[in-house]
């Protein structure tokens, strides 16, 4: 055979095979792109665009039932392609209760649910600590440490991540003004009433708000080194209506007094000059402070070259899309502004002008940043990726049937919870809908980051953040103390004068 001819035939075969491989790769890439975009080929070879559900649970590996049907491939902590539209999904696992809800899957979009929790049906309560005399209790954010307060000056810290609980005493007498300590006595009496106790993110400091007769005291308790604790009333004559821990280690606090905002340097025991005045509400996120204030402390000039004076600082006003349409002079006589401020930085940004004061909050949901404002009964969301007024665009508005007095953002931004008394409204960011509901009783709190509990007639009831999946866990629970789950395994609650522990997940 002609060797040249054989080489040509071999070359053709190589070229054809490589071309087929390239075509196959391109076809696979195109097919994957269509699948990622939600397109799917049905059994009758028709092409339909679908969505995808990604669902996690505690415990993992629960069976996923969709519209009453299940398969061995359907489990939690995996993803599943679903037809667009409404679906009823349920989670089941042997030995556990059931979780379910109805969702609406949209074309080409991923629907993510990360908070479902199942509880063991058979549980054995065990008393793990005598808490006789306890008047107040608080769990740290990581749910590993329990602080117990009583009417003495020797409070207790308990590490609940240990099998055997051993309290450690903390002497609060040197730091709390609300203490009656006779001269020469080693023990005293705590005479104040604890209104609130908030931990920092490092789980080491607790900021107490205490009623002390006609006055309100604020104390920052250092649980690791009590000698570094700080009675805030001793560094200033100001009376604060709100103080927030600003950073992970409580080195900086943000304080509101008579409408003035201050920063407090806890390491140097120093309070700043006010950096904003006539403030109604404030919050903070990611090293930034956002507040709503009367516009008297800010120039009404609206061009982008104007300067604003906020307390002792000067900054630049950004142009805003939140202005009323038409003539700017037609704005309400008493305008408010929403301002973004970074401590130790003279620059501030006006994000919005409003007719009434609003409760503002910044948060992030997956890859997008949002500004939420609550004005009376109206919750408004703005897309705020760049957090400047010229790029602030309204995303959606929700009307409520009541006026909330608190606004809480979920740990991952997956929901906004608004409440007053035991009436709650929850905005599910994934589903883009608001649910209003009532807890079973006035004594309620957050069991986990996405689950609320309430105690009514000694019955412990738990719900998802939107009130769904209501379940009863126990019938012998003291209503005035916190309840939590640690290590996703142990349920802790108080019963009479004892701390009770139950295993809720194997």
Backbone phi, then psi, for 355, in 5-degree steps? Answer: -80, -30
Q: Is the pLDDT of residue 41 over 70?
A: no
Backbone phi, then psi, for 77, in 5-degree steps? Answer: 65, 30
- Tell me the three state secondary structure of residue 5: helix
pTM: 0.83
Summarize pLDDT for 185-237 with one digit per residue, the tens: 567 899 999 999 999 999 999 999 999 878 899 999 999 999 999 999 889 88
Residues 30 and 90 placed together within one structural domain of the fold: no
- Tell me the three state secondary structure of residue 376: coil
Residues 62 and 78 placed together within one structural domain of the fold: yes
Q: Is the pLDDT of residue 146 over 60?
A: yes
Q: How far apart are the first and last CA of the chain?
A: 74
Classify residue 105: in a domain, yes or no. Answer: yes
Classify residue 2: in a domain, yes or no. Answer: yes
What is the token pair recorded at 315?
């900054």
* Contact between 421 and 437 (Cβ < 8 Å): no
Residues 57 and 78 placed together within one structural domain of the fold: yes
Mean per-residue pLDDT, 232-258: 94
Of the residues 66, 97, 113, the one at which a domain ends: 113
Classify residue 137: in a domain, yes or no. Answer: no
User: Domain span at residue 21?
Assistant: 1-35
* Contact between 403 and 358 (Cβ < 8 Å): no
Classify residue 152: in a domain, yes or no. Answer: no
Summarize pLDDT for 391-433 with one digit per residue, the tens: 678 899 999 999 999 999 998 999 999 999 999 999 999 999 9
CA distance 14 to 382: 57
Residues 72 and 95 placed together within one structural domain of the fold: yes
How many structural domains compose the chain?
2
Q: What CATH number should be reported for the domain holding residue 64?
A: 2.60.40
CA distance 376 to 399: 9
Residues 91 and 104 placed together within one structural domain of the fold: yes
Residues 27 and 44 placed together within one structural domain of the fold: no
Residues 45 and 30 placed together within one structural domain of the fold: no
Classify residue 434: in a domain, yes or no. Answer: no
- Which positions ≥6 away from 72 have C-beta within 8 Å? none
Of the residues 113, 144, 168, the one at which a domain ends: 113
Of the residues 80, 113, 146, the one at which a domain ends: 113
Q: Work out the mean pLDDT of the chain and round it to a whole number.
A: 86
How many helices, marked H, and strands, marked E, lie in the chain?
1, 43
State the pLDDT at residue 79. 87
State the pLDDT at residue 342. 85
- Which positions ≥6 away from 475 have C-beta within 8 Å? 458, 459, 460
- Nearest 5°: the CA angle 164, 167, 169 is 165
Classify residue 21: in a domain, yes or no. Answer: yes
- Nearest 5°: the CA angle 368, 89, 45 is 85
* Contact between 221 and 174 (Cβ < 8 Å): no
Residues 24 and 55 placed together within one structural domain of the fold: no
Classify residue 330: in a domain, yes or no. Answer: no
Residues 29 and 62 placed together within one structural domain of the fold: no
Classify residue 126: in a domain, yes or no. Answer: no
Q: How far is CA 483 from CA 75, 135, 449, 479, in A?
A: 29, 15, 13, 9
Residues 53 and 101 placed together within one structural domain of the fold: yes
Residues 51 and 23 placed together within one structural domain of the fold: no
């Amino acid at each position: 055979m002609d060797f040249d001819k054989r080489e040509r035939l071999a070359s053709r075969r190589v070229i054809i095979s490589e071309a087929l491989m390239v075509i196959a790769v391109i076809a696979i890439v195109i097919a994957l792109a269509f699948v990622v975009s939600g397109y799917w080929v049905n059994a009758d070879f028709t092409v339909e665009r679908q969505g995808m559900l990604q669902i996690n649970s505690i415990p993992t590996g629960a069976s996923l039932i969709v519209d009453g049907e299940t398969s061995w491939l359907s489990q939690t902590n995996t993803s599943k392609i679903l037809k667009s539209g409404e679906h009823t999904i349920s989670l089941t696992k042997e030995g556990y209760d059931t979780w379910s809800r109805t969702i609406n899957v949209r074309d080409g979009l991923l629907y993510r649910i990360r908070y479902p929790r199942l509880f063991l049906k058979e549980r054995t309560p065990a008393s793990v600590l005598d808490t006789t005399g306890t008047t107040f209790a608080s769990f740290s954010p990581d749910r590993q440490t329990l602080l117990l307060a009583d009417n003495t000056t020797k409070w207790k810290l308990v590490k609940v991540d240990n099998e055997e609980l051993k309290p450690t005493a903390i002497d609060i007498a040197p730091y709390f003004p609300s203490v009656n300590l006779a001269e020469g006595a080693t023990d005293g009496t705590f005479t104040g009433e604890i209104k609130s106790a908030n931990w920092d993110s490092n789980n080491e400091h607790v900021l107490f708000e205490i009623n002390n007769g006609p006055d309100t005291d604020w104390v920052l308790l250092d649980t690791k080194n009590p000698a570094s604790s700080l009675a805030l009333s001793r560094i200033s004559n100001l009376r604060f209506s709100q103080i927030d821990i600003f950073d992970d280690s409580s080195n900086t606090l943000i304080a509101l007094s008579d409408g003035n905002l201050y920063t407090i340097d806890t390491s140097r025991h120093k309070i700043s000059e006010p950096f904003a005045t006539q403030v109604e509400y404030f919050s903070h996120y990611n090293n930034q402070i956002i507040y709503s204030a009367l516009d008297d402390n800010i120039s009404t000039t609206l061009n982008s070259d104007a300067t604003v004076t906020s307390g002792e600082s000067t900054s630049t006003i950004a142009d805003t899309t939140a202005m009323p349409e038409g003539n700017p002079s037609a704005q309400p006589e008493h305008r408010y502004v929403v301002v973004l401020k970074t401590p130790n930085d003279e620059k501030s940004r006006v994000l919005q002008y409003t007719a009434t004061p609003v409760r503002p909050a910044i948060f992030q949901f997956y890859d997008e940043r949002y500004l939420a404002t609550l004005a009376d009964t109206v919750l408004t969301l703005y897309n705020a990726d760049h957090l400047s007024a010229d790029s602030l665009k309204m995303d959606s508005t929700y009307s409520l049937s009541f006026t909330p007095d608190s606004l809480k953002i979920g740990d991952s931004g997956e929901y906004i919870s608004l409440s007053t008394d035991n009436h709650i409204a929850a905005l599910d960011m994934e589903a883009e809908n608001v649910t209003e509901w009532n807890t079973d009783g006035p004594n309620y709190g957050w069991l986990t980051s996405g689950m609320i509990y309430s105690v009514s007639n000694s019955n412990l009831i738990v719900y998802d953040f939107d009130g769904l999946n209501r379940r009863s866990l126990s019938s012998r629970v003291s209503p005035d103390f916190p309840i939590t789950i640690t290590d996703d395994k142990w349920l802790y609650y108080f019963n009479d004068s004892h701390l009770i522990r139950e295993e809720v997940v194997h």
